[in-house]
Structure formats: structure tokens, C-alpha cells
């Protein structure tokens, strides 16, 4: 039995919490409460993570720094290699295309998967960008010019409101409307990316369900009888000129989903980041027993 004064204090605290929740719900609605709850969950997830230093070998073998984090949705267990990097914010680079796709479809700037944005006739180093594209095609080839045009059409104020609404990283959209996710203004940590991915997968972001389903469909990269692999890549540079390579996504086997984020950092200007980030990610997933349909 608790002493009477402890019981009284407990009841008073419960009443205060209920009153605060009721006031908040009346003012802002239920959705923000759900978002706050999910944000709180992921801000604390690293505190109970399993640290797997064995994964260091995959980064060392390629002479890079990096981190890897995974959430097993079935039991809530989080696995992390390199906690310091996992909880440090970096430019999202093209992984921001996940959020910008959601915003574009939600606002009607992109009316659907078949809507085409015309090529501006400027030839760029990636020939896959030098043509008319719809959003599915642009996402697959990570077409920067397409998404820069989308950002200009959405507008700075609207982008800022949505970045704030999902509490994306540091929420900093300073600078040009078509490059703040590339210029080290907007930053997000791998741990925050993991939380964002889970909210998207379960349609918990403040977008129409149909919009979230469309973006998840666009993210699908491999689909066979053993597994489904969905992700978005990103490649940017930090303030010191280091290359930063992202892969953020999830893998599904036997109706179980696992969310993961890989971040690679290298000072080598000649690094083949596209290959390195993917090789590291798939090597780790293979070590954990994926790709066989047995998870």
C-alpha cells in the first residue's frame, strides 16, 4: 500500500495529465498527439539499442566511416553500429525526396504518378535526368532537377509548414527553396530517419493515406517471393567536403518488416559512393539473414 499522500499526489498528477491532454486535443486535434507520441518513442529508442560493433568490418573494408541502424518492428528491438553517427544530424541529400514527394502529391503540385514535368533542355552529367519525367521515374533515378522544380512550384512557405508538421530533423529550410536539403541547412540524424520511415510505412504521417501508399509504392526497389526491399538513396557533402551516402528504407520477409538506415562518410573525392553504400547495406542485411525468405 502506498502512503495516503503518495496516492493523493498520483491522482492529482493523473488529473493534470488528462486535463493537459484534453486541452491540447481541443486546440490542435488528435493527430499532433499521435505524432508527439511517435517522436518521443524514437527519441528514446537509442537508449535501449543493441550495439553491434561487429559491423565495423564492412565499413573498414572500404576505408570509410559510417553507421547502420535497424528496427525490428515485431519486437521493437533496435540495433546500432556507431551510436555517435546514428544520433548526429547530417544533410539528408536525396533522401529528402521521400518527404518532398509526399508534399507534392498532397498539395496537388504533382497531380498523380502520370503527371510529367518537362525537361528544361539543360544537359546534365546524368543522362537519365535529361528528359521529361513523371514522379515515379524521377524518384527511381533521383533526378535533382525534377525535384528542384517541384520545390519551386510548392513554394518556400508551404514546404516549411510541412517540414515543421512532421518535425523533420532540425526543420531548417533556410536558403534557396530548391536546395536547402542539399546545402547543409536542413539536417537529420539516422535515428530520426528511422522514425520517419516507420511513420510512413504505417500511414502515420499527416498526409492522405493514398498519398503515403503512392510514395511507398514508388520506394519499392526489389520484389520477389523471398523478400520486398524498399529504399531511397542520397548522396551529399558535409561542410568539410566529405561525401555522405545514405540508404534509408525497409525490408519485408514473411509479413515482417524491418526498418534500416545506412550512412557512409568518406573524404575520398574519387569514392564510388553509389556502389559502396549499397554493398555495405546488402552485406549487413545478408549477415543478419535476409534475402532468403527465412526471417
Please give the positions annotated as active site.
94
- Residues 55, 68: contact at Cβ < 8 Å? yes
Those residues whose C-beta lies under 8 Å from the C-beta of residue 195, and which sit 6 or more positions away, are 38, 39, 41, 42, 45
- Residues 177, 156: contact at Cβ < 8 Å? yes
CB burial of residue 188 (10 Å; 0-12, 13-18, 19+): buried
Residue 3 to residues 12, 153, 215, Cα–Cα distance (Å): 15, 63, 54
Closest CA to 271 of 244, 233, 246: 244
CB burial of residue 209 (10 Å; 0-12, 13-18, 19+): exposed
What is the rounded CA–CA span in Å between residue 18 and residue 25? 10
Amino acid at each position: 500500500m502506498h502512503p495516503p499522500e503518495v496516492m493523493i499526489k498520483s491522482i492529482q498528477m493523473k488529473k493534470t495529465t488528462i486535463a493537459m491532454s484534453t486541452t491540447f486535443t481541443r486546440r490542435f486535434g488528435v493527430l499532433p498527439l499521435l505524432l508527439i507520441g511517435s517522436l518521443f518513442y524514437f527519441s528514446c529508442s537509442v537508449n535501449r539499442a543493441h550495439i553491434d560493433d561487429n559491423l565495423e568490418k564492412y565499413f573498414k573494408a572500404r576505408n570509410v566511416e559510417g553507421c547502420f541502424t535497424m528496427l525490428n518492428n515485431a519486437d521493437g528491438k533496435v540495433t546500432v553500429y556507431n551510436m555517435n553517427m546514428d544520433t548526429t544530424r547530417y544533410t539528408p541529400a536525396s533522401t529528402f525526396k521521400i518527404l518532398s514527394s509526399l508534399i507534392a502529391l498532397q498539395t496537388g503540385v504533382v497531380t498523380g504518378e502520370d503527371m510529367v514535368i518537362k525537361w528544361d533542355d539543360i544537359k546534365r552529367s546524368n543522362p537519365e535526368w535529361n528528359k521529361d519525367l513523371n514522379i515515379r521515374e524521377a524518384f527511381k533515378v533521383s533526378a535533382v532537377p525534377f525535384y528542384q522544380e517541384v520545390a519551386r512550384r510548392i513554394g518556400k512557405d508551404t514546404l516549411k509548414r510541412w517540414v515543421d508538421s512532421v518535425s523533420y530533423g532540425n526543420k531548417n529550410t533556410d536558403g534557396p527553396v530548391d536546395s536547402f536539403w542539399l546545402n547543409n541547412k536542413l539536417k537529420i540524424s539516422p535515428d530520426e530517419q528511422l522514425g520517419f520511415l516507420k511513420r510512413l510505412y504505417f500511414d502515420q504521417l499527416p498526409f492522405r493515406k493514398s498519398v503515403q501508399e503512392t510514395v511507398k509504392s514508388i520506394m519499392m526497389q526489389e520484389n520477389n517471393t523471398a523478400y520486398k526491399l524498399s529504399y531511397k538513396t542520397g548522396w551529399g557533402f558535409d561542410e568539410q567536403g566529405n561525401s555522405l551516402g545514405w540508404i534509408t528504407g525497409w525490408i519485408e520477409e514473411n509479413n515482417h518488416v524491418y526498418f534500416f538506415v545506412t550512412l557512409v562518410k568518406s573524404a575520398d573525392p574519387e569514392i564510388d559512393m553509389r556502389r559502396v553504400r549499397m554493398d555495405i547495406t546488402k552485406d549487413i542485411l545478408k549477415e543478419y539473414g535476409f534475402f532468403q525468405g527465412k526471417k
